[in-house]
Structure 1
Amino acid sequence: MAVAAPSQQLLCFSNSTTTRARRRPWHPTNTATFLNSSHNNKPRVSLIICSSSTSQSPEANAETPESCVNLGLSLFSKGRVKDALVQFETALSLNPSPIEAQAALYNKACCHAYRGEGKKAADCLRTCLRDYKLKFGTILNDPDLASFRALPEYKELQEEARLGGEDIGYSFRRDLKLISEVQAPFRGVRRFFYVAFSAAAGISLLFTIPRLFRAFGGGDDAPDLLETAQNVAINLGGIVVLVALFLWDNKKEEEQLAQISRDETLSRLPLILSTNRIVELAQLRDTVRPVILAGTKETVSLAMQKAERFRTELLKRGVLLVPVIWGEGREPQIEKKGFGLPRKAAAALPSIGEDFEKRAQSITAKSKLKAEIRYKAEVVSPAEWERWIRDQQKSEGVTPGEDVYIILRLDGRVRRSGKGMPDWQQIMQELPPMEALLSKLER
C-alpha cells in the first residue's frame, strides 16, 4: 500500500510492539517515470522508523490524522480492510494537512481496489490527482493497484489524465507531451509554419476581397477580374489546406499520446521468469524481444508447440514467449492478502521512487538477469495484461478478443502485431540475431 508526501519532508512513525507485515514509504509527488523519458536524478524519500522508548498500541494515538493513517496501514496488514477504511475516513474528517489528506485518500483507494469497488477507488484517486498533485505514475506503478488497473474505471481515469483538464490536472498529459516531442521533434516547427502561412494568407485575403468587388464593379481603374479571382482562390485554398494540415497534425499527436500511454502501461506489466523471479517488462529492455501470444488455451498451446521446433534460432534472436490466455484474468491468480501482487512479488519489484534507468537495473546486473531468461515467461495479473491487449486491439482496428500476437522491440515498444498466431519461420527471417548491428540500433 502506498502513501504520498512531498520529497522534502520525512514522516516519522512510532514503532509498536507488533511489526507490520509490509512497510512502504510515503512517496514524493514527482515519482512518475516513463519508458522513453530521460528524467534523471529524481528525489527519493525513505521511510524513517522511530522506535519509542515505551511500547504503545496504534489505537492510543488515533486522535490525529497521521496516527489514523498509521493505524489503517497496520489494520490492513492484518487483513482487516474494512477497519482500515474506517481509519482512513477518520483521518480525512480530522482536518488533515494536504500531505495527510493525500495519504489517507490514496490508501483509501487501495482499500476500495482490494474490495473490488472500482468506482470508489477511482473517485479517491481523482481527488488526489486534482487537489493534492498526485503523480499518475504512482497509480501506474503501484502493485497494490494491480486489480484496479484491470477495471474499466482505471481506463476512464487514465483517459481523463491523458486528455488533462481541471478535474484531474495536466501533469500526466504534460509528461506525455514531453515524450511526444522527443519522438516527433519537428511537429512544433510544422505547426509554426502552418499558423504563420495561414495568417499571411488571411491578411492577403483581406486586401484582395475589396479588389475583387472593384473588379466586379468595372471601371477604368478596376483591377483585372480574372487575376483578382485567382488570387482570392489561392489564398482561400492555402488557408483550407494549412488548417487541414494543422488539424491532421493534432490528431496524429493525440494518437501518439495514446500510444505512449499504452507503452508506459505495458512497460509496468509484471512477468515471472523461469527462476520464479518477478520482474516488470521494462526491466527486460535491451535484453529480449517479448512475443505476446494472446488467445484461447488451445490456440496458444499449439503456437507454443510449433515454436519449439525453432527454439534455438528464436533464442539467438532474443525471443521471449509470453502466453496470455483469454479469460484467465477472471480467475483468482494470487493470494488475497494485500493488494495486487503477492507479498513476495511486491518485494521483488523495484521502488516506485526510482527513475527508469535505476528501475531497469535494480533487481540484479544485466548479465545475471539475462541468465535467468529461459525462452518463456508467465504473466502476473492476467487481467491487467488482457486489458492492455484489448486496448491495443482497439487502437489497431482489431475486434477485441480475437487471437493475436504482438512482437515487441528491444526498447520495449511494439514492433508489429497480427491476427492469429505467428509464422515462426517468417519471424526468424524478420528478426536479426542479438549480436547483429540492426539489433544494436534497435536498443
Structure 2
Amino acid sequence: MAVAALVSQQPLCFSNSIATGRTRHKPWLPTKTIILNPQKKAHLCSISCSSSSSTSQSPETNAETAESCVNLGLSLFSKGRVKDALVQFDTALSLDPNPVEAQAALYNKACCHAYCGEGKKAADCLRTALRDYNLKFGTILNDPDLASFRALPEFKELQEEARLGGEDIGYSFRRDLKLIGEVQAPFRGVRRFFSVALSAAAGISLFFTVPRLLRAIEGGDDAPDLIETAENLAINIGGIIVFITLFLWDNKKEEEQLAQISRDETLSRLPLRLSTNRIVELVQLRDTVRPVILAGRKETVSLAIQKAERFRTDLLRRGVLLVPVIWGEGRAPQVEKKGFGLAPKAAAGLPSIGEDFEKRAQSITAKSKLKSEIRFKAEVVSPSEWERWIRDQQKSEGVNPGEDVYIILRLDGRVRRSGKGMPDWQQIVQELPPMEALLSKLER
C-alpha cells in the first residue's frame, strides 16, 4: 500500500501566540524560502508500508534542515504542543544553522521556556541570541509571548546585562517623548518662538534705552524727555520679565507632561496574573477593562475588596478589574552588575528578526480569548515595580508616598482619577458607564 504525502516548505517566522493560533509576525528568510502551491507545485512521494520496513525513515526526516525544524516548531507551538516545539528548536540548533536560523531557534525556544515558567532557561536562550546573533532587546520587550518572562527576576538581570553591554534596553521611548508631547500640545513651540523673539526685541530696545535714560538724567539741550524714557525702560524690562516667565512656564509644563507620558508608558508594561494564571501586561487589557488599583495596607485593601463584592455585578458590567497592591510585599531583586562583553561570534551585519515586529498587537481572536479569562480581580506580578509606579504617581499628585490610595484607569489605559483611602463603590457604579454604552466606546 502506498500513501501520497504533500511536501511543502513554509517561511520561517517569529513565535506565534498560543492564544491567537495565527502568525503575528512577518516571515523572514525570503531568499531561502520555497512556498509550493498545492495545485501547481506539489511533490508527491510514495512511502511504502510493510512489516519489514517499519524501521525505515521517511524522506522528510532525511531532508531535515534547521529551517524546516524551526517551521515545524512554530506550528507545534501555535497548537499548544510546547514540549514538542522545544524538541524541534533543539534539533534546529544541532543541524549547523546559519546565524539567522540560530537566532530564530533560540528566540522561539525562549518563548517556549517562558510559557512553561522556566525563566532561567528562557534567559539563557535570549542571552545567547543577544550576544552572538544580534537579537535586538526591543524584540524581547514587545512580544506578548514573553510577558510572563518580563515579570521574572531573570528578565531584570538580562536587562541590566544588556544595558552594561551597550544595548538599547527599552528606554528609547524617552527619545520620542518630546514628539508625543508636541502632538498633545501643538502650539507650545510657537509660543516659545515668540517668547524668545519678543524677549530679544525687548532686550535690544533696552540696550538703546539705558544710554538715553542716562542722557535724560544729565540734562541738556539735546537730552530726551526723562519721563518718556523712563516709561520706555519700564516697558522693556516688564516685557523681558513677562516673556521669560512664559518661556520658563512652558518648559515646566513640558517637563510635567513628559513625566506623565513616561509614567503612562511604565504603567502599560506592568504585569498582571489573571484568574487563569496567565500573565499579561496592562497594555494588553486596553479597551477591555477599567482597572481599579487599590494600594495600601493589607487589611484596608481586603476590606475594600469585600465591599466591592456587594456591587460585583454592576462593576463587572462596567468592566472594572480590581488590582490590589499591598505595601511592602514587593522587594526589588538584587541584580549582579555584569555586561555581555565582546561577542566573538556576533554577526555585525545581521538584521534582527524583531525589526518587523508589531508592537504588542493583538488579533480579535486573542482579545476575545482574553476577555473570557478576565474575572473580577487580578494579582500583581513584580509588586516592587507596581509600588514604585504608585509612589511616583503619588508624588506627582502631591500625596505623601505610602498612603492608602485608589487609582481608576480608563479603557485606553490612562488614569481617569485617583483619591486617598479606598473608593466609594456606589459612586463608581454611578460614575462609570456600562461597557456597551456610547460613552465607553468613545473612551476607547
Partner SS, residue 128 of structure 1? coil
Match of 2:200 in 1: 199
Match of 1:378 in 2: 379
Is 1:124 the equivalent of 2:162?
yes
Deviation at 1:291, TM superposition (A): 0.4
Paired residue type of 1:125: R
Is 1:234 the equivalent of 2:250?
no
Deviation at 1:182, TM superposition (A): 1.7
The 2-side partners of 1:197 and 1:272 are apart by 55
What are the ranges of 5 or more consecutive residues in structure 2 without an aligned counterpart? 1-13, 15-25, 33-64, 75-85, 141-145, 334-353
Instruction: Spell out the pairing of 1:181-220 with structure 2 (5 A cutoff).
Output: 181-220=182-221
Partner SS, residue 418 of structure 1? strand
Instruction: Spell out the pairing of 1:37-436 with structure 2 (5 A cutoff).
Output: 100=133, 121-122=159-160, 124-129=162-167, 134=168, 136=169, 139=170, 161=171, 171-330=172-331, 354-355=357-358, 359-361=361-363, 364-366=366-368, 368-436=369-437
User: In the alignment, is the contact (CA less than 8 A) between 1:71 and 1:84 conserved in 2?
Assistant: no
Paired residue type of 2:403: E
The 2-side partners of 1:254 and 1:305 are apart by 40
Deviation at 1:281, TM superposition (A): 1.7
The two structures have a TM-score, normalised by structure 2, of 0.62
Deviation at 1:408, TM superposition (A): 0.6
Deviation at 1:305, TM superposition (A): 0.7
Q: CA RMSD in A?
A: 4.8
Q: Percent identity?
A: 64
The 2-side partners of 1:369 and 1:115 are apart by 25
What are the ranges of 5 or more consecutive residues in structure 1 without an aligned counterpart? 24-48, 140-160, 162-170, 333-350
**CA shift in 2, pair 1:249/1:80, >3 Å:** closer
The 2-side partners of 1:397 and 1:194 are apart by 30
User: In the alignment, is the contact (CA less than 8 A) between 1:215 and 1:222 conserved in 2?
Assistant: yes
Deviation at 1:214, TM superposition (A): 1.7
User: In the alignment, is the contact (CA less than 8 A) between 2:274 and 2:374 conserved in 1?
Assistant: yes
The 2-side partners of 1:291 and 1:83 are apart by 32
Deviation at 1:439, TM superposition (A): 3.1
User: In the alignment, is the contact (CA less than 8 A) between 1:191 and 1:246 conserved in 2?
Assistant: yes
The 2-side partners of 1:229 and 1:374 are apart by 72
User: In the alignment, is the contact (CA less than 8 A) between 2:292 and 2:321 conserved in 1?
Assistant: yes
The 2-side partners of 1:327 and 1:402 are apart by 12
Deviation at 1:221, TM superposition (A): 2.1
Instruction: Spell out the pairing of 1:5-44 with structure 2 (5 A cutoff).
Output: 15=66
User: In the alignment, is the contact (CA less than 8 A) between 2:93 and 2:105 conserved in 1?
Assistant: no
The 2-side partners of 1:322 and 1:229 are apart by 64
Paired residue type of 2:207: L
Paired residue type of 2:396: S
The 2-side partners of 1:293 and 1:80 are apart by 32
Deviation at 1:352, TM superposition (A): 9.7
**CA shift in 2, pair 1:409/1:331, >3 Å:** same
The 1-side partners of 2:122 and 2:237 are apart by 65
Note the alpha carbon deviations across 1:307-339, whole angstroms, 9 max, x for none: 12222322333222111222333499xxxxxxx
Deviation at 1:301, TM superposition (A): 1.1
Paired residue type of 1:311: R
Deviation at 1:223, TM superposition (A): 1.3
**CA shift in 2, pair 1:16/1:83, >3 Å:** farther
The 2-side partners of 1:440 and 1:82 are apart by 39
The 2-side partners of 1:398 and 1:280 are apart by 26
**CA shift in 2, pair 1:231/1:437, >3 Å:** farther
Deviation at 1:409, TM superposition (A): 1.2
The 1-side partners of 2:297 and 2:123 are apart by 40
User: In the alignment, is the contact (CA less than 8 A) between 2:67 and 2:101 conserved in 1?
Assistant: no
Paired residue type of 2:328: G
The 2-side partners of 1:68 and 1:438 are apart by 49
User: In the alignment, is the contact (CA less than 8 A) between 1:403 and 1:421 conserved in 2?
Assistant: yes
Deviation at 1:117, TM superposition (A): 10
Note the alpha carbon deviations across 1:358-403, whole angstroms, 9 max, x for none: 624366245x544443322222333332232222223323333322
Deviation at 1:353, TM superposition (A): 5.8
Note the alpha carbon deviations across 1:205-224, whole angstroms, 9 max, x for none: 22222221221121122111
Deviation at 1:276, TM superposition (A): 4.2
Deviation at 1:260, TM superposition (A): 0.9
User: In the alignment, is the contact (CA less than 8 A) between 1:105 and 1:125 conserved in 2?
Assistant: no
User: In the alignment, is the contact (CA less than 8 A) between 1:409 and 1:415 conserved in 2?
Assistant: yes
The 2-side partners of 1:197 and 1:218 are apart by 31
Is 1:441 the equivalent of 2:420?
no
The two structures have a TM-score, normalised by structure 1, of 0.62
The 2-side partners of 1:222 and 1:207 are apart by 14
Deviation at 1:271, TM superposition (A): 2.5
User: In the alignment, is the contact (CA less than 8 A) between 2:288 and 2:371 conserved in 1?
Assistant: yes
Partner SS, residue 222 of structure 2? coil
Deviation at 1:127, TM superposition (A): 4.2
The 1-side partners of 2:272 and 2:441 are apart by 24
Deviation at 1:251, TM superposition (A): 1.7
The 1-side partners of 2:165 and 2:423 are apart by 44
The 1-side partners of 2:322 and 2:156 are apart by 31
Structure number with greater Rg is: 2
Count matched residues: 344
User: In the alignment, is the contact (CA less than 8 A) between 2:272 and 2:279 conserved in 1?
Assistant: yes
User: In the alignment, is the contact (CA less than 8 A) between 1:201 and 1:235 conserved in 2?
Assistant: yes
